[in-house]
Amino acid sequence: MNTEKEKLSILSEMISFARVDNTIKQAEYDFLFNVSQQLGIRKTVFDDLFKNEAEHVIPKSQAERLVQFNRLILLMNVDDGQELNEIRRLHDIGLAMGLPPSAIQQVLSIMHKYPNKVVPPETIINIFKAHYN
């Protein structure tokens, strides 16, 4: 399981991503809060992340990186709107995590084929597996 430092980094990165369009909508806040609850982060600590960024920690395992990438995709689509700067930022985050550029692009391309742009986790895993082979 992730350490407290890793959990705060996950949330901080997600909050930063949500702010790409200079605002955090209620649906985004609710989604972020749900993630914080799943990670076992207290509300006061969660709310403090909006004022004070946590130290950035890249997830150690490939599985953790894919989970974080998927969370960011879900966050981007939670408000039914995607802006070009959000897609670019998500692509950059994926690259910074060491994910293959072609796999990132493939996921971003196919998400439009799914209801609410929610790509099934198995599909994401299979795309990245194919790019690692």
**41 pLDDT exceeds 60?**
yes
Mind listing the pLDDT tens digit for each residue in 11-25? 999 999 999 888 899
Mind listing the pLDDT tens digit for each residue in 49-67? 999 999 999 888 989 999 9
Based on the structure, what is the number of domains in the chain?
Answer: 1
Give the structural domain span for 59. 4-132
pTM beyond 0.75, yes or no? yes
Residues with Cβ within 8 Å of 12's Cβ and at least 6 positions away in sequence, in order, are 49, 53, 54, 56
**1 pLDDT exceeds 60?**
no
Torsion sign, CA atoms 66, 69, 74, 77: negative
- Residue type, position 1, single letter: M
The whole-chain average pLDDT of the chain stands at 91
